[in-house]
A = this chain, B = another copy of it.
Amino acid sequence: MNMKKLSIMLACIGAWSAVTAQTLPEGTPAQTNIPEADYPCVDASSRATFRLDAPEARNVQVDICGKKWPMTKNPDGVWSVTTDPLVVGFHYYFLLVDGVAVNDPASETFFGCGKMASGIEIPESPEAAAYYTYDQSVPHGQVRECHYYSSIEQKERRCFVYTPANYETDASRRYPVLYLQHGMGEDERGWSRQGKMADILDNQIAAGKCVPMIVVMDYGNCGYIHGARPGESREEFGASFTPILLEDIIPYIDKTFRTLTDRDNRAMAGLSWGGHQTFQTTLAHLDKFAYIGAFSGAIFLPPEADMRKVYNGVFADADAFNRKVHTLFIGMGSEENMGSRELSEKLSAIGIKNTYYESPGTHHEWLTWRRCLNEFLPLIFKSDK
Q: Which residues of A contact B (CB under 8 A)?
A: 1-3, 5-6, 9-10, 12-19, 21, 34-37, 52-59, 66, 95, 97-103, 105-109, 111, 113-116, 134, 136, 140, 142-149, 156, 161, 168, 171, 183-185, 187, 192, 198, 221, 223-230, 234-235, 256-257, 272, 298, 300-303, 338-339, 364
Q: Which residues of B contact A221 (CB under 8 A)?
A: 35
Copies of this subunit: 2
Nearest-Cβ distance from residue A210 to partner chain B, whole angstroms: 19
Q: 7 other contacts beyond A36-B224, A58-B58, A107-B116, with CB at 8 A cut-off? A: A5-B338, A6-B298, A13-B113, A15-B185, A35-B187, A140-B148, A144-B144
Q: Are A36 and B136 in contact (CB under 8 A)?
A: no
| Residues of A contacting B: mostly | loop
A307 to B109: give the CA distance in the assembly, Å: 44
Q: Are A116 and B34 in contact (CB under 8 A)?
A: yes
Q: Are A57 and B98 in contact (CB under 8 A)?
A: yes
Q: Which residues of B contact A97 (CB under 8 A)?
A: 57, 97-98, 100, 102
Q: Are B103 and A13 in contact (CB under 8 A)?
A: no
Please give me the residue from chain B that is nearest to A1 by CB atom. Answer: B235
Please give me the residue from chain B that is nearest to A143 by CB atom. Answer: B145
Residue in B136, B140, B225 whose CB lies within 8 Å of A35: B225
A-B contact pairs, 18 of them (CB 8 A): A1-B234, A5-B338, A12-B364, A13-B183, A13-B185, A17-B227, A35-B223, A35-B225, A36-B225, A36-B226, A55-B99, A56-B99, A56-B100, A97-B102, A105-B115, A140-B147, A142-B144, A147-B198
